[in-house]
Amino acid sequence: MAKHSRIFVRTGENLFDFMWADVSADGSVLMGLTQEGEGNVELVLDPELGELRPHDIVAPQSIGALKLSFHATGQYKLSGQMGRDQCSLDRATVTGPRLADISEPRRMAEFFIPAQLPRASRAFTENDIALDISDAPPPPYRCLVSCMPTERFERHIADGSRFVDTSLWESTHALTTGPQVWVWTFRKSLNDREIPPHFIAFLPGFPRWGRPNNVGV
């Protein structure tokens, strides 16, 4: 992966903005949506507390394009804040394995795609990738972002099998960070029926709740 890459969606000759991705010196990976908007935490799945909805937590509305930070240490963060109460607001964070310890394909994030994406605001370069959906069936779509060792990715491509069992159709592209590959799989799932009105992001992992008066990162 180059220091800065863009992830586009292509259909025919048309190119659309979707995401960007950066890699830092310590191996951490930052990424985000290029489209700006307002965001809310709609659901938190906590192994001890169960399903938490907006009325169960404090999660101020975030403004701007969604950003995700996958730190090499295994702390994965969203750009918005959340807390059990007002005094414990912190960056929305889940914990997972250290990036260097990921030895099997791992789902890092998933995005549910709205009806329209913005036209590309800049030209495609050699550092960028484009997910080709020219032959895709009608929406709805979602996009899985996964991380895996390079050899596992190469083996999967050689086998010609789908990356997700529930996919009816897939378009896959990847960026490499040292011995690992970050994979974007734009797909149509047999489980989806409706097109969301806006982007919905899912960040799997164990929620880490901020301590009282621990505001910020």
Summarised one tens digit per residue, pLDDT across range 25-44 is 888 999 999 987 767 777 77
- pLDDT greater than 80 at residue 58: no
Q: Copy the structure tokens of residue 127.
A: 């550092």
Q: Which DSSP string corresponds to 149-209? A: EHHHHHHHHHHT--SSTTEEEEEEEEEEETTEEEEEEEEEETT--S--SS-EEE--SEEEP
Q: Is 213 exposed, middle or buried (0-12, 13-18, 19+ CB in 10 A)?
A: exposed
Each domain of the chain, given as residue ranges in start order, spans 4-208
Q: Average pLDDT, whole number, for the chain?
A: 88
pTM for this structure?
A: 0.88
The three-state secondary structure class of 82 is strand
Cβ-contact 176, 15 below 8 angstroms: no
Q: Is 64 left (phi over 0), alpha (psi -120 to 50) or beta?
A: left
**Could you read off the pLDDT of 153-173 as tens digits, one per residue?**
999 889 888 999 999 999 999
Q: How confident is the model at residue 215 (pLDDT cuts 50, 70, 90)?
A: very low
Cβ-contact 105, 152 below 8 angstroms: yes
